[in-house]
């Protein structure tokens, strides 16, 4: 501060000294003339500097600050410093705002800022996708007039910030949204709209699955329970009758056992930590064992043919492949009436390994084909049950094949029969050496050596 006063005071003192010297040497007229001249000069200079200052203040961003010496230079310098500081904080604020804008645009959830009157202050682009709001057009609009669903109005009025509202998107009825209100600031609210369509779908699948399993278990349990009651109430039942009841009970118990086995297999296949352990799978030998299995299931009711056109093996999990191909074979036996023919064939087609099971059974209408691998999907529920089906066989097949990068191809015509083919990609194929061919790979339930 002292620096500011020092210069004008010293100039004033010098002027006064000169005026006194003039007065003493040349008389008071000369001194007065000198002082008047100095004052006129100071006034003109001040006017000039004020003019420059006002011009600069009109447009400080574009015009460079005036360059002056003395106290005016000091004032200009300080003003310029102030202006530079303001400019820096403005640009910091702008970049923070830009960052916020970018982040808000990248957020996948719809976000709407409402003021105390529930008017839209701001909304992000995702709110257009989910709620149909337009960030520019709808600014200042009352949210309750834009989203008029009665449930939403109730939700707004309740102002219960712990609650979430689940509703369909007003833009797309296939999309399910979870809405949440979050209060902030003085009286503002943030409305967040999250897409929970996938979660809902998984939840619905889980509910369906539990309902299906319960339904599948209820029938055999009711039957077994009923027979137990009958046997308990009538201890003197003739031996042949009670034998029949025991057989039926055993039948239903086995059905439950199959269902649980299939459920466990599916759950094991689905568990994330269940990684595939690759091993060489001797498919010709496995095919031979599957043929034997088919014969035992068929009990002479069908003609079973095995056709091995390739000596190739597979790389994969023997247990899983055996279970998948076994399901195809067992389905062919179960859905082919007596006297029919079942053909198992292993061949290589365009570097891909194809294990095909062809039957002359009842066949499947085209509209069912895309859904056959869904859990518990059956074309004919009672036929499946009669033959001991669980409705999970093809779901297991699909899982196993997917884990082996393979696919299931189905060709079928009602009344003519079906071909279910497991098609393995070239990277899963293995061409064994003569030494390997000699090695017999043991696998569970193998009833006959390779022929
Ligand atoms: P299931 O235990 O009921 O056989 P799957 O998942 O193995 O269950 O098969 C699903 C449905 O596909 C079966 O219920 C049946 O309607 C149909 N299906 C499967 N294989 C054949 C086949 N070889 N011939 C005719 N229909 C079949």
Q: What is the DSSP string of 357-381?
A: EEE-S----GGGGGGTTSTT--SSH
* Ligand 1 atom closest to Cα of residue 378: 14
Would you say the CB of residue 374 lies under 6 angstroms from ligand 1? no
Q: Kindly report the pTM of this predicted structure.
A: 0.68
Whole-number pLDDT of residue 271? 81
Would you say the CB of residue 361 lies under 6 angstroms from ligand 1? yes
Q: Is the pLDDT of residue 134 over 80?
A: yes
CB contact at 8 A, 427 and 330? no
Q: Is the pLDDT of residue 444 over 80?
A: no
Whole-number pLDDT of residue 451? 27
Would you say the CB of residue 156 lies under 6 angstroms from ligand 1? no
Would you say the CB of residue 384 lies under 6 angstroms from ligand 1? yes
CA distance 355 to 324: 11
Give me ligand 1 centre to Cα 208, in Å.
Answer: 20
CB contact at 8 A, 328 and 311? no
Place of tokens 């195809």: 328
Q: Is the pLDDT of residue 183 over 70?
A: yes
Residue 95, beta-bridge partner list: none
Grade residue 1 by pLDDT with cuts at 50, 70 and 90: low
State mean pLDDT over 264-291: 87
Place of tokens 């219960």: 160
Would you say the CB of residue 262 lies under 6 angstroms from ligand 1? no
Give me ligand 1 centre to Cα 393, in Å.
Answer: 8
Q: Is the pLDDT of residue 450 over 70?
A: no
Grade residue 219 by pLDDT with cuts at 50, 70 and 90: confident
Give me ligand 1 centre to Cα 209, in Å.
Answer: 18
| Structural Rg of the chain based on CA atoms | 45
- CATH 3.30.565.10 range(s) for the chain read 279-437
Grade residue 436 by pLDDT with cuts at 50, 70 and 90: low
Q: Which of 262, 393, 401, 408 to mutate to test the pocket of ligand 1 (most atoms within 8 A of CB)?
A: 393
- The secondary structure of residue 426, as a DSSP letter, is G
* Ligand 1 atom closest to Cα of residue 395: 6
Grade residue 447 by pLDDT with cuts at 50, 70 and 90: very low
Residue 358, beta-bridge partner list: 343, 419
Give me ligand 1 centre to Cα 280, in Å.
Answer: 29
Q: Where are the alpha helices (DSSP H) in 299-374?
A: 318-334
Give me ligand 1 centre to Cα 333, in Å.
Answer: 10
Which CATH class for the 107-195 domain?
Answer: alpha beta
Quickly name the fold that domain 279-437 has: Heat Shock Protein 90 (3.30.565)
Grade residue 437 by pLDDT with cuts at 50, 70 and 90: low
Place of tokens 């077994």: 224
- CATH 1.10.287.130 range(s) for the chain read 208-270
Q: Which of 212, 325, 326, 331 to mutate to test the pocket of ligand 1 (most atoms within 8 A of CB)?
A: 331
pLDDT digits (tens, 9 = 90+) for 71-128: 778 888 888 888 889 889 999 999 999 998 888 888 999 999 999 999 999 999 999 9
Residue 322's contacts (CB-CB under 8 Å, 6 or more residues apart) are 286, 289, 290, 443, 444, 445
- The secondary structure of residue 278, as a DSSP letter, is -
**From atom 4 of ligand 1, which residue's Cα is the shortest distance away?**
389
Give me ligand 1 centre to Cα 413, in Å.
Answer: 14
Q: Which residue has the higher pLDDT, 87 or 423?
A: 423
CA distance 197 to 201: 6
Least confident of 180-194, 248-262, 274-288: 274-288
CA distance 312 to 428: 10
Identify the CATH number of the domain defined by range 208-270. 1.10.287.130
CA distance 347 to 353: 6
Q: What angle, rounded to 10 degrees, do the helices at 393-403 and 239-270 form?
A: 30
**From atom 16 of ligand 1, which residue's Cα is the shortest distance away?**
379
Residue 417's contacts (CB-CB under 8 Å, 6 or more residues apart) are 336, 340, 358, 359, 360, 361, 362, 363
Would you say the CB of residue 332 lies under 6 angstroms from ligand 1? yes
Give me ligand 1 centre to Cα 335, in Å.
Answer: 7
Residue 385's contacts (CB-CB under 8 Å, 6 or more residues apart) are 219, 255
CB contact at 8 A, 68 and 53? no
Would you say the CB of residue 342 lies under 6 angstroms from ligand 1? no
CA distance 19 to 36: 10
- CATH 3.30.450.20 range(s) for the chain read 107-195
Average pLDDT, the chain: 89
Cα–Cα–Cα angle for 216, 222, 225, nearest 5°? 135
Residue 192's contacts (CB-CB under 8 Å, 6 or more residues apart) are 109, 110, 111, 179, 180, 181, 182
Grade residue 274 by pLDDT with cuts at 50, 70 and 90: low
Of residues 424, 399, 223, the one with CA closest to residue 313? 424
Give me ligand 1 centre to Cα 229, in Å.
Answer: 34
Place of tokens 């299939």: 262
Give me ligand 1 centre to Cα 364, in Å.
Answer: 9
**From atom 14 of ligand 1, which residue's Cα is the shortest distance away?**
378
Helix (H) or strand (E) holding 242: helix 239-270
Would you say the CB of residue 373 lies under 6 angstroms from ligand 1? no
CB contact at 8 A, 109 and 194? yes
Of residues 122, 120, 166, the one with CA closest to residue 143? 120
Grade residue 57 by pLDDT with cuts at 50, 70 and 90: confident
Would you say the CB of residue 393 lies under 6 angstroms from ligand 1? yes
Whole-number pLDDT of residue 341? 97
State mean pLDDT over 207-218: 92
Give me ligand 1 centre to Cα 366, in Å.
Answer: 13
């Amino acid at each position: 501060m002292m620096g500011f006063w020092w210069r004008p005071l010293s100039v004033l003192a010098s002027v006064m000294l000169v005026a006194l010297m003039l007065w003493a040497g040349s008389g008071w007229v000369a001194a007065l003339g000198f002082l008047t001249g100095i004052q006129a000069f100071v006034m003109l200079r001040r006017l000039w500097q004020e003019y420059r200052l006002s011009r600069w203040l009109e447009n400080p961003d574009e015009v460079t600050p005036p360059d002056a010496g003395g106290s005016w230079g000091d004032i200009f310098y300080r003003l310029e410093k102030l202006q530079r500081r303001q400019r820096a904080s403005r640009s910091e604020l702008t970049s923070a705002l830009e960052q916020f804008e970018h982040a808000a645009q990248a957020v996948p959830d719809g976000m709407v800022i409402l003021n105390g009157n529930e008017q839209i202050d701001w909304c992000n682009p995702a709110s257009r996708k989910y709620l149909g709001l337009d960030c520019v057009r709808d600014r200042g609009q009352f949210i309750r007039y834009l989203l008029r669903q009665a449930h939403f109005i109730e939700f707004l009025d309740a102002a219960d910030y712990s609650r979430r509202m689940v509703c369909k998107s007003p833009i797309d009825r296939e999309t399910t949204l979870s809405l949440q209100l979050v209060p902030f600031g003085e009286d503002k609210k943030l409305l967040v709209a999250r897409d929970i369509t996938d979660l809902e779908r998984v939840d619905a699948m889980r509910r369906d699955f539990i309902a299906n399993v319960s339904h599948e278990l209820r029938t055999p349990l009711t039957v077994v329970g009923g027979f137990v009651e009958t046997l308990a109430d009538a201890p003197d039942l003739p031996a042949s009758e009670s034998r029949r009841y025991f057989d039926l009970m055993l039948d239903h118990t086995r059905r439950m056992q199959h269902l649980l086995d299939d459920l466990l297999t599916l759950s094991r296949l689905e568990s994330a930590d269940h990684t595939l352990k690759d091993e060489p799978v001797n498919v010709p030998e496995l095919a031979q064992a599957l043929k034997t299995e088919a014969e035992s299931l068929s009990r002479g009711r069908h003609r079973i043919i095995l056709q091995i056109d390739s000596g190739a093996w597979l790389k994969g999990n023997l247990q899983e492949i055996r279970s998948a191909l076994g399901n195809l074979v067992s389905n062919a036996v179960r859905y082919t009436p007596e006297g029919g023919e079942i053909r198992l064939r292993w061949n290589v087609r365009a570097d891909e390994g194809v294990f095909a099971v062809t039957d002359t059974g009842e066949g499947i209408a085209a509209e069912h084909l895309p859904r056959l691998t869904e859990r518990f999907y059956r074309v004919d529920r009672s036929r499946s049950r009669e033959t001991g089906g669980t409705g999970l066989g093809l779901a297991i097949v699909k899982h196993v094949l997917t884990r082996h990068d393979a696919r299931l191809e189905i060709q079928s015509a009602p009344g003519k029969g079906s071909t279910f083919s497991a098609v393995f990609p070239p990277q899963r194929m293995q061409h064994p050496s003569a030494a390997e061919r000699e090695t017999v790979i043991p696998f569970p339930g193998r009833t006959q050596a390779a022929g």
